[in-house]
């Protein structure tokens, strides 16, 4: 028997123990670490880097505070004991822990969830994690908790994927090639735009790709939080039914519904079904 074979065989028990230990660690990690990104949305737009995230988040916080102040002065801001607000905050508490894998900045966001009394069928999440729902979207569409989670996940996804940053860069930067150098090196121009964007953050229109992005990331966030992914389909079916006529939901003015949207969600539900089942089984 050759020396190399003798050496290998003599060392094998130790190696075997090491490999078994490594395999055991890997198996444990597989059980305790949730799979990352079951939906395929690709990388976030690099254009967003032209707009300082901290400036935009500060602007969003200021605008959110103004919105809440106005609602409070009109007696429209839900108080902590409001059952609908408690419902929203319970859902958010299950989704927020799932957000950091999509954006590391989310770990330091001061998340807020508030409810505003209004017939508007609307909801949003500003950059930095500032969430608001209007009572109209809950009451008029008679949403289940699973459907609320899909809307909340969708809106959170817009913030996590930083669609507002990218949209501002596209709309403000495209026609200003003469100042592109200053934007790239100093960010003064686009930074100023971010700081003065104001109410546009609430009604910002995103591209079709952004909407698809938010649909799929929101679907996964909700599934990881223990909410039935099939609700994404029933939600947009409700949206479509409510969208007829000139008095359709304000939500649909920035989030148009349609068969293609529903079909894409249906195709992605199986991808996150396991995440939903795991979340449910873990309580």
Active site residues: 155
Check the CA dihedral 167-172-177-179 and report its sign: negative
- The span from the CA of 280 to the CA of 283, in Å, is 5
On whether the CB atoms of residues 51 and 169 are closer than 8 A, the answer is: yes
- The span from the CA of 142 to the CA of 241, in Å, is 13
Residue 77 DSSP code:
B
Residue 199 DSSP code:
T
Residues in contact with 156: Cβ distance below 8 Å, sequence separation at least 6, in sequence order: 95, 96, 99, 125, 129, 131, 218, 221
Burial of 194 (0-12, 13-18, 19+ CB in 10 A): buried
On whether the CB atoms of residues 169 and 190 are closer than 8 A, the answer is: yes
């Amino acid at each position: 028997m050759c020396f190399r074979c003798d050496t290998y065989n003599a060392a094998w028990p130790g190696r075997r123990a090491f490999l078994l230990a490594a395999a055991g660690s890997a198996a444990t990690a597989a059980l305790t670490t949730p799979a990352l990104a079951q939906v395929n949305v690709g990388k976030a737009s690099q254009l967003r880097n032209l707009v300082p995230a901290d400036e935009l988040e500060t602007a969003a916080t200021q605008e959110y505070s103004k919105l809440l102040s106005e609602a409070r002065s009109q007696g429209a801001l839900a108080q902590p004991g409001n059952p609908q607000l408690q419902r929203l905050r319970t859902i958010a508490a299950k989704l927020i822990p799932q957000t950091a894998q999509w954006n590391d900045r989310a770990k330091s966001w001061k998340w807020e969830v508030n409810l505003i009394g209004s017939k508007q069928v609307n909801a949003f999440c500003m950059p930095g994690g500032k969430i608001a729902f209007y009572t109209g979207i809950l009451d008029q569409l008679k949403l289940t908790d699973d459907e609320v989670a899909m809307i909340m996940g969708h809106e959170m996804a817009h913030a996590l994927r930083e669609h507002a940053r990218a949209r501002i860069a596209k709309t403000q930067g495209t026609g200003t090639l003469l100042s592109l150098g200053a934007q790239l090196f100093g960010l003064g121009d686009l930074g100023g735009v971010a700081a003065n964007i104001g109410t546009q953050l609430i009604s910002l229109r995103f591209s079709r790709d952004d909407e698809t992005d938010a649909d799929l990331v929101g679907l996964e966030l909700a599934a990881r939080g223990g909410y039935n992914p099939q609700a994404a389909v029933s939600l947009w079916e409700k949206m479509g039914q409510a969208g007829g006529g000139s008095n359709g939901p304000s939500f649909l003015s920035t989030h148009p519904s349609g068969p293609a949207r529903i079909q894409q969600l249906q195709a992605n539900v199986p991808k996150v079904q396991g995440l939903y089942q795991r979340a449910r089984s873990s309580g």
